[in-house]
Every structure is written in C-alpha cells, then in structure tokens.
Amino acid sequence: MSLPHAILTALLEKPSSGLELTRRFDRSIGYFWSATHQQIYRELGKLEEAGLIRALPSAQPARGRRKEYEVLPAGRAELTGWVGRSEDPKPVRDALLLRMRAAAVVGTEGLEAELGRHLDLHRRQLAEYEDIERRHFPPERDAAEDRLRHVVLRGGIELERFWIGWLTEALAEVGGPPPAPRRG
Amino acid sequence: MSLPHAILTALLEKPSSGLELTRRFDRSIGYFWSATHQQIYRELGKLEEAGLIRALPSAQPARGRRKEYEVLPAGRAELTGWVGRSEDPKPVRDALLLRMRAAAVVGTEGLEAELGRHLDLHRRQLAEYEDIERRHFPPERDAAEDRLRHVVLRGGIELERFWIGWLTEALAEVGGPPPAPRRG
DNA sequence: TACCCCATGTAAATAGTTACATGATTCA
DNA sequence: TGAATCATGTAACTATTTACATGGGGTA
C-alpha cells in the first residue's frame, strides 16, 4: 500500500497537478515506485476524499481543467507515521530469474538474445542514474535532506550494477561455454 | 504473466499436487516467484482447462482429495516459447527505497529500527541461500542443468548482498552521523 | 465422537494494467 | 475551423492478497 505514500511524498516535495505528477513518476520518484496516470488520478481522488490532500482553491473543478493539489496536515502525519511503520519486504518476484530456471528444464533457446537486451537496458539505466548523481549530488553539497536522497539514488545505482553483473555472468553461462568444454 | 510459467517449471521438475506445489513455492522456486496456495489452485484449474497440464488418472476428482498434476506436451511447448520471448523488465517498485525518500521530507523517526530489522531479515535469507549453495552445488558438480540453476541461486545471493550493503549504508546515514557533526 | 491436520477450494477486496473517452487550449 | 496537445478521467480486465469454507482421514 505505497502508492498513496509515493504521491504524498511527491506532493510535499512540490504541489502539482495530476499530469505533473505523472511526469515525475516517469523519472525521479517513479524510479523507485512506478505508476501510470490512471492510477495517479484515481489515488488523488481517494486522498482528497480522505482529507489528506486538497485541490488548491484557484483550480475550479471541471473535466479537462488543470487541478493542483497540496498536502494537508493529516496527509503529512500519515506519511510521517508510515516512514517508521513495520512492513516486511515483499517476496521476490522476478521474471528473468524465473525464466533462467525454466531454461534449466526446457533449454535456453532464444534466451541469450533476451539476456543481452536486458543487459543493454540496465546499462542505459545505470548511465542515467550516474548522470543524475553528477548533476544533483556533487561532492561539495551535503545537506541532511540531500544525503538521504543521495542514499536512495545510490540504491538505484547499486541495483543496476547488480543486474549488469548478474546478466554478464548469466550470458557467460548461456552463450559462453562451448557445448562440450572438457573435450575441446 | 509468469505464474503459469512458474507452475509449469515446477511441475516439469516434478509432478505434484497443489499443496506440494505450495510448499515448493515457500522455498526453492518461490524464492524467485512467490505465490500463495489460492493463486496456485486457481492457476492449476486454468492450466488444466487450457490443456497444458492434466491430473494424473490415479487421482479421482473430489474436494479434499489429493490431485497430482503433470505437464502435457502443449505445456512444455508454451514454456519453451516463453523462455526466449521478449519481455521488458518491470519498473522497480520498492517500498523501502520509497520510505527513505519520504523520510528526506518528513524526517526519519522510527526508520532506523525498521532498517535494522530488514538488515537482519536479509542476512538470514543470505545465510539460507549460502546453505543451499553448499548443499546443492558443491564445486565438483557441473552438469549444464545444474550450472543454470546455480546461476539463478547466485542471483539470489548477490541480490541479498546488495540489500545488506545498501541497508548498512542507509543505517550509517540515518542513525550514524551525530546531529551536528561539524560542531562536535 | 471430537479434534486435528491434510488438502482443495470460494469470495471479496485491493492493486495494477490496458484501452478508450472527453473537455480545454493553442496555434496554423 | 481543424489538428495537435494538454489534461482529466472511465471502464474493463488481470493479478494479488486476505479471509473464510468444506471435505477426508487419522487418532486420542
């Protein structure tokens, strides 16, 4: 149940309309909690209903009309509580690891290309994170707030490095070894 | 759409009843694709309906009566196709990274304990994986099938190590630095 | 026969995805 | 005035989670 909290965080960082939030979920905060515009509009409605956020008075409500939201005290309180709440990590559900395991049973046909494609995607994502790191977290800055956000970004960076490492290893196993290495 | 493929893989490894599958989803294959017994029974029904698996003739169908399934050729073909299919990685959705980011806005109260708890959970999981590695993949074995499964397990191991590293770093940031380090 | 555990399921709620609909604004 | 784009939404579907229901077999 983290989507509302992702939205509250984004709105505290900067009051926004639904579309602006959607754009920020395509970069920034969305790197760690993705969401589509349909989810976002639905959730904004619920959060407003629950009294955690409100539409800025300037925005008269009408379809097609821009509507900006800000977080109310109750919303900030909810987010503050959530930060320290006990919540177990979700069990892993990764399709690529699973496919590798399926390949152990039915063969690896077509898998090498797919692993290579993923490797490329993760390399691009890593490059993007590293670029953000250079621009947003130069060595001389270290406000506490920034340090926390930097740790989050480093999590993203290290996660991409994990995938790059694993995919490289996996490719060596799938594509690398000749069919009968000990006879070669 | 990976649950049916996870089940097909598990059933190819060994024909099983729903409950047996459930138990194997609590360890082994479930380390990479978790599922509850409700999901499994529902999906077994769909897979049987679709002609990808069948109940072994021995098991007469009745509620409360054990029912074993095996994979049919069509099921194996479906799984073989899926292994090489093109499927983009799912965007990251991680509650802990998100919470850290929320903490940058509303403060870190209660977060340190939660990070510590997660660190402990990941250490246990790592220990379990390493134990499995010792037991199932001793250095002298290297059948191709085993090597692929070993790569999958190493993925799990490296993922846990990533979390342990990141959580340690995050704890140092949240709990570590004194309130005003430059004045201390 | 009462209780417990094995085993298979149903139901309802929540979360996420995909496809489509509609109004407002801008600019050629 | 027509097309493109900004902006907000609805609807239908799929996936997942949580809680509960039911039957079978063994055994105290």
B31 in A contact zone (CB under 8 Å): yes
Q: What is the DSSP string of A85-110?
A: ---PPPPPB-HHHHHHHHHHHH--TT
Average pLDDT over all residues of chain B: 92
Chain B residue with CA closest to A111: the answer is: B84
Structure tokens at A74: 């109750």
Q: How far is the CA of A65 from the C1' of D2 (A)?
A: 21
Task: Please tell me which residue of chain A has the smallest CA distance to B175.
Answer: A148
Query: Quick one: tokens of A154?
Result: 């480093």
Is residue B184 predicted with pLDDT exceeding 50?
Answer: no
Using CA atoms, how far apart are residues A160 and A154, in angstroms rounded to an integer?
A: 10
Of A94, A102, A165, the CB nearest to B79: A102
Beta bridge partners of A49: none
In the predicted model, is pLDDT for residue B47 greater than 70? yes
Q: What is the dihedral of CA B40, B46, B50, B51, to 10 degrees?
A: 50
Given a contact cutoff of 8 angstroms between Cβ atoms, the answer to whether B33 and B2 are in contact is yes
8-state DSSP, B28: G
pLDDT grade for B139, boundaries at 50, 70 and 90 = confident
Q: For residues B93-110, give the mean pLDDT.
A: 97
| CA-wise closest residue to B13 among B34, B36, B1, B25 | B25
Residue with smallest Cα–C1' gap to C9: B63
Whether CB of B60 is under 7 Å from strand D: the answer is no
Task: Kindly list the distances between the CA atom of residue B153 and the CA atoms of A5, A94, A121, B86, in Å, as whole numbers in the listed order.
Answer: 33, 13, 22, 23
What confidence score (pLDDT) does residue B179 get? 58
How far does CA A114 lie from the centroid of its chain? 22
Q: What is the pLDDT of residue B60?
A: 63
* pLDDT score at B178: 63
Name the 3-class secondary structure at A164: helix
Residue B59 confidence (pLDDT): 60
Check residue A181 and give its pLDDT: 44
- Looking at residue A139, its pLDDT comes to 85
Q: What is the pLDDT of residue A61?
A: 66
What percentage of chain B exceeds 90 in pLDDT? 83
What is the reported pLDDT for B52? Answer: 97
Please report the pLDDT score of residue B61 as a whole number: 63
Q: How far is A155 from chain B (nearest CA, A)?
A: 6
Q: What is the pLDDT of residues B49-87, one digit of tens each?
A: 999 999 987 766 666 688 999 999 999 999 999 999 999
From the list A97, A111, A148, which residue is nearest B104 (CB)?
A148
From the CA of A38 to the C1' of C4: give the distance in Å: 48
Instruction: Dump strand ranges (E) for A14-166.
Output: 16-17, 53-55, 68-71
Within 7 Å of a protein beta carbon, the nucleotides of strand D are: 6-11, 14-19, 22-25
Residue A38 neighbours by CB distance under 10 Å: 9
How many Å from the N-terminal Cα to the C-terminal Cα in chain B?
55
For B49, list phi and psi in degrees, rounded to 5: -55, -40
Q: Which amino acid is at B111?
A: L
* pLDDT tens, per residue, chain A with 184 residues: 899 999 999 999 999 999 999 999 999 999 999 999 999 999 999 999 999 999 998 766 677 789 999 999 999 999 999 999 999 999 999 999 999 999 999 999 999 999 999 999 999 999 999 999 999 999 887 777 789 999 999 999 999 999 999 999 999 999 876 655 454 3
Give the per-residue pLDDT at A184.
Answer: 35
Instruction: Point out the residue among A2, A148, A162 whose CB comes nearest to the CB of B162.
Output: A162
Q: For residue range A104-122, list pLDDT tens digits in order.
A: 999 999 999 999 999 999 9
What does residue B50 show for φ and ψ, rounded to 5 degrees?
-80, -5
